[in-house]
Amino acid sequence: MTGGRTPRSTPYDGPIYGRWVEPMLAGVHGFVAERLPSGPRVLDACCGTGGLARRIAGTGRRVVGVDLSPKNIAYAQRRAADAGIGGDRLSFEVADVATLAVPAEGPYDVATVVLAIHEMPTAARARVLGALFTVARRVMIVDFSTPMPWNLAGLKTRMAEVAAGRTHFAAFRDYQRRGGLAPLLADVEATVESERSLDGGTLRVVVASAN
Ligand SMILES: C[S@@+](CC[C@H](N)C(=O)[O-])C[C@H]1O[C@@H](n2cnc3c(N)ncnc32)[C@H](O)[C@@H]1O
């Protein structure tokens, strides 16, 4: 793998993420699937166990899900097969999003990346976002607000980030300290088309395109 990260799974990936964490994100995934910018071909970057990708495929679009974790991708493939969705409509691959190339058919209409940027090492964040604005015409990003509010939803988010382990919490703190999405989008020279908050102000939802 050149310039990116090697595929790897954490102990929480696969069944634990799929059964316990993914269901907690059902509301966010529904919001994204309903408000996705138009176009038939979608990349779900950092797709985890594939819950959002399955939902989007259910709306009739063609979806490719990509994740670094072999355990998450194996689980996502199993769930898609169980749901009888496959072939061209929904496929998954293990890859570092930072190293993706534009598909032979041309760029995706939309890429989604949900709750993944904040957990990446600092340097990987702009590399991944930069790659997404190359392989897709528009990118819909959901990630934590900065600053994180001190309301009930903000306290729950902090507790969940602590529970995810020391490395994960350090990345979350670093993301907060650096101002979250706004400086990253400026860094990759993206044009923000729309922006709103969700879940008690703990999440930012941004749709942006390459300049
Ligand atoms: C918190 S999970 C979110 C998963 C999914 N987007 C969801 O909404 O359930 C973050 C995911 O990002 C993946 N990830 C992190 N860095 C990545 C990279 N550079 N390329 C591909 N996947 C990556 C991790 O393996 C993990 O599955």
Cβ–ligand 1 contact at 129 (below 6 Å) = no
Condensed to tens digits (0 to 9), the pLDDT of residues 65-105 reads 999 999 999 999 999 999 999 888 999 999 999 999 999 99
- Band (pLDDT 50/70/90 cuts) for residue 4 is low
Condensed to tens digits (0 to 9), the pLDDT of residues 195-205 reads 999 999 999 99
Question: What's the whole-number mean pLDDT along residues 17-29?
Answer: 96
pLDDT score of 126 more than 80: yes
CA 211 to ligand 1 centroid distance, Å: 25
Q: What are phi and psi of 175, to 5 degrees?
A: -60, -45
Cβ–ligand 1 contact at 5 (below 6 Å) = yes
pTM: 0.96
pLDDT score of 207 more than 80: yes
The residues, ordered by sequence, that sit 6+ positions from 161 with a Cβ below 8 Å of its Cβ are: 168, 169, 172
- Which atom of ligand 1 lies closest to the CA of 10? 25
Ligand 1 pocket test, candidate residues 13, 68, 129, most atoms within 8 A of CB: 68
Please give the Cα distance from 109 to 135 (Å, whole number).
9
Q: Which pLDDT score, from 0 to 100, does residue 1 have?
A: 43
Q: Which structural domains are found in the chain, ordered by start? A: 15-210 (3.40.50.150)
CA 11 to ligand 1 centroid distance, Å: 14
Cβ–ligand 1 contact at 69 (below 6 Å) = yes
Mean pLDDT of the chain: 95
Condensed to tens digits (0 to 9), the pLDDT of residues 144-172 reads 999 999 999 999 999 999 999 999 999 99
- Band (pLDDT 50/70/90 cuts) for residue 9 is confident
CA 116 to ligand 1 centroid distance, Å: 5
pLDDT score of 194 more than 80: yes
Q: Which residue has the tokens 């009930």?
A: 152
- Band (pLDDT 50/70/90 cuts) for residue 10 is confident
Angle at 110 between CA 104 and CA 112, to 5 degrees: 115
Beta-carbon-side half-sphere exposure of residue 73 (alpha carbons within 13 Å): 19
pLDDT score of 2 more than 70: no
Cβ–ligand 1 contact at 67 (below 6 Å) = yes
**β-bridge partners, 37:** none
Cβ–ligand 1 contact at 18 (below 6 Å) = no
Condensed to tens digits (0 to 9), the pLDDT of residues 26-62 reads 999 999 999 999 999 999 999 999 999 999 999 999 9
CA 114 to ligand 1 centroid distance, Å: 8
